[in-house]
Amino acid sequence: MNKNQYEPIALITGASSGIGFELTRRLLSEGWQVVALNRSDFPTDDSQIRQAVHNRSLRIYKTADLADYASLRGTLEEIKSKERRIDVLFNNAGGSFPELSYSAQGREKHYELMTVVPYIILMELKNSIQGGHLKTVINTSSSALKFTKEFTVDILERPKTFRKLLGPYATSKLALSLWTEAIAPQLAEDGITIYSVDPGGNNTLRKGKDSGLPLLVKALMSLFFPPPTNGANKLYEGALGDHRHKTGAFILKGQPAELKFKDQAGGVWERINEIYVHEFLQRNEEQEQL
């Protein structure tokens, strides 16, 4: 029997830069296979990445925009047709945008990319995760959610105001952690464990890219924040560490932390599931009938 059948397989979104890139490198160095779902290309000067692509331990799937359902749908179908199982799903892709912007579906883009899309990816790949050995999902959240002052589903989709980092970015990460907690009991019935994990502060600044961070935060990040290997290690520990927390937990500094607005967790889950069923699935069925 081929030994590759025993090698663990992780799918990482946003694997080509920052925390996702360092997580990819760590898993590859430990004998994992990595399925990368990216918008951007990997660095061309990394010998480990080149070798992994060559020997097929790193398999790359590209999408023009994770927040565009037409593009995402085709890439997910390709993954489902080619990948036999997924042991750990790292829903890691994200970012902070410099101004208020909207997805192709008409929702605020932080919310679409970092709250709704991770749910779609989970639901579309659920059977592959059930077929894996570890059956684990890690959603990359953020401690910025602690600063959320006002929270409703309507605010998520159409914000009244915009603030860098502490506005739509923070509320979207809170919503991600809320639906993670809400869906956990249902996933547990299928043997799947799910957590949202804060990767901590990391210097993920890239030249020539406006990160959407406040100037003070950017200055502190460049001077004092650790490299993104720090965040990669936190996500790794969230999925594979010796500790075992209650499924659905928000993991902050290695320990479960309470979430604000927990009374709205069910409503957030209901809304994003409605989007998944009536926009992602239904429109796909309508296109197939044409």
> What CATH number corresponds to the domain at position 86?
3.40.50.720
Phi, psi of 39 (to 5 degrees): -95, -35
- In total, how many domains does the chain have? 1
pLDDT at 185: 98
pLDDT at 1: 30
- The helix (run of H) or strand (run of E) holding residue 164 is none
pLDDT at 77: 97
pLDDT at 53: 97
**Shortest CA distance to 119 belongs to which of 18, 270, 257?**
270
240-252 residues labelled b (16+ CB within 10 A) or e (exposed): beeeeeebbbbbb
pLDDT at 218: 73
pLDDT at 244: 73
Indicate the pTM of the whole model: 0.93
pLDDT at 3: 42
What whole-number distance in Å separates Cα of residue 265 and Cα of residue 138?
Answer: 18
**Shortest CA distance to 283 belongs to which of 134, 156, 104, 62?**
104
pLDDT at 2: 40
Count CB neighbours of 224 within 10 A.
Answer: 9
pLDDT at 201: 87
Enumerate residue ranges in the chain where pLDDT < 70.
1-5, 205-210, 221, 243, 284-290
DSSP state of 128: H
The edge-to-edge listing of strands for the beta sheet with 255-257 is 58-62, 33-38, 9-13, 88-91, 136-140, 193-197, 250-252, 255-257
pLDDT at 223: 73
What whole-number distance in Å separates Cα of residue 81 and Cα of residue 195?
Answer: 26
pLDDT at 233: 97
Count CB neighbours of 72 within 10 A.
Answer: 21
At how many degrees (to 10) do helices 265-275 and 168-188 cross?
A: 90
Q: Which amino acid is at 197?
A: V
pLDDT at 269: 98
- The parent domain of residue 62 ranges over 3-289
pLDDT at 284: 64
pLDDT at 251: 96
What whole-number distance in Å separates Cα of residue 146 and Cα of residue 154?
Answer: 19
| Residue 143, token pair as written in the block | 């401690």
HSE of 287, CA atoms in CB hemisphere, 13 A = 10
Q: How large is the greatest C-alpha to C-alpha distance in the chain, in angstroms? A: 58
Phi, psi of 13 (to 5 degrees): -90, 145
pLDDT at 215: 76
* SS3 state of residue 91: strand
